[in-house]
Amino acid sequence: MDLLNNFRRTKDGGKKKITAYFTHATMLETICTALELFKDSKPLSGANRERERKWRTSFMAAFAGNLVAVLNRCVDNEVSDYNVVFYLNEEPIRSICADGIYTWKEFEDKLSPFLNTSIDFCEFLSEPY
């Protein structure tokens, strides 16, 4: 995943300050699914309306939304440590880990499975079947 690789380069001394991606709400929801954000204990169903469900697209990206990942460098006694905080629509996502803060290891473990994936399935065909 490009985000993980960019953060790794920055952590290893790279000078890049900002990486930005722009996409549609559908892709934002796909990313939330991959990161297991807003995962309900029971699968969503049309048979019963759960008013307190976590997966609520009206809160995630009703018409527009943003997901921000911030790499923080923390220095204690001249020893650097890193963590990552995710924000959805400018609010920290606290449901994903302690206080919404991933340790560097938690972040790498979460994103590493996606390093060799592709979104080629999202390409539109230029001609109908």
Task: Find all residues with CB under 8 Å of 69, minimum gap 6, and list them.
Answer: 3, 7, 84, 85, 86, 87
Instruction: Compute the average pLDDT of residues 95-120.
Output: 80
**Structure tokens belonging to residue 82:** 């890193």
Higher pLDDT, 118 or 36: 36
The domain ranges of the chain are: 2-39+54-122
Write out pLDDT tens, residues 39-65. 888 887 778 778 788 888 887 777 778
Instruction: Compute the average pLDDT of residues 22-36.
Output: 82
**Structure tokens belonging to residue 53:** 């469900």
- Dihedral sign of CA atoms 41, 30, 94, 96 in order: positive
pLDDT higher than threshold 80 for residue 121: no
Write out pLDDT tens, residues 68-98. 889 988 888 777 789 998 888 888 887 666 6
User: What pLDDT is recorded for position 105?
Assistant: 92
Write out pLDDT tens, residues 4-19. 888 999 988 888 877 7
Indicate the pTM of the whole model. Answer: 0.73
